Structure 1
Amino acid sequence: MSEQQIITPEVPENSQQKQEAKRKKEYEANRKALDELCLLYPEVFDGAKPKPLQIGIHEAIATDGKLSKTRIRRALNLYVRMRSYVAALTENAERITLGGAVTGKVSAEEASHALEKLTEIDRKRALKRPAAGKPKGPRKNARKPTPSGDRSQKTANTKSAIEPSAVAKPVEQADSGERMQNKLAALVNKRSN
């Protein structure tokens, strides 16, 4: 039997970097378009407190003629995917038109779909951030194990080696220059031991 070579396609190392750069560039373009939309229609588009938009609002914006269809698509693409907008899609929440008038309400089906999206957004965010209970690295002040007999001797030597001038004054009494000098003196004494 002859040995067959397995050929694996070579993926350039920087292709992932290129994709990230492309995503970042698209996000920046979407962000600029959304900023324009917020400036043109501040009563409708509010990033801090978004309101559910009328279905087909993109057509109303296009007929207004202030933005190109590409800019509208980019802006709405970012706006309707914001967590705060998805959270605003609750059952019976009022949808607004381009003029700010109420045009309808969010249905139960739309609200349940929004809740699923919100759960997915939160799940993805939780995966990206580190867990709160886990340490991020080695502790700076972790004690190293010492032989049982040396513990009292080492503690006594350490206490006597620190000079009284190296002990920091309370923050109210010491200015920043004095505090820095005290810290340096303590560090020098600590290293010499």
Structure 2
Amino acid sequence: MSTVAPEQFIAAQKARAAALYSLFESGFKGFEKLVQLNVEATRASLAENQAVATEAVSVKSPEAFFTLQSRQAQAWNEKLQAYWRHVNEIMSETSSEILATGEKQVDEYVRQSQALFENLFRNAPAGSEAFVSLWRTGFGAARDAGNATYENAKSAAKQAVEVIDKAGKTVSAKA
């Protein structure tokens, strides 16, 4: 038996670990963007609230106070819409990046797995043709089932992104 198979197996395991951490990194980048957006929104909100409070204590008539409230409600509504647009953009960008990375890694995993098993089958001892044939059939069925599952998951993820996108647009339109 060849020593290439264990080396290929180790390389495939390293590649899968790297792929997993690549997905984690993509998700974390999206999380960082959301945190940064929230920090900026909070900072801006505090400054604006201070300005409004200062202006509110300076008004001299009830009409001016209600005008200030009305103006601030309109500004708050616009800022809320902009905030949710940013959240939607970050989520869409992050999910697209994760989907692309995942698809690339699944394709690479399938390619490496096929190469590993082909090498194992090629180096099988004489007289094990029936066993190799059984394994090929089994791995082919597993590959097909895995591809079908992956395609279903990919379709579901894309639908989820579309629903989130649509919901974000609906919230923006209603607000």
Query: When the two structures are superposed, what TM-score results if normalisation uses the length of structure 2?
Result: 0.25
Structure 1 or 2, whichever has the larger Rg, is 1
Q: Which has the higher helix share?
A: 2
Higher relative contact order at CA 8 Å, sep ≥6: structure 1 or structure 2? 2
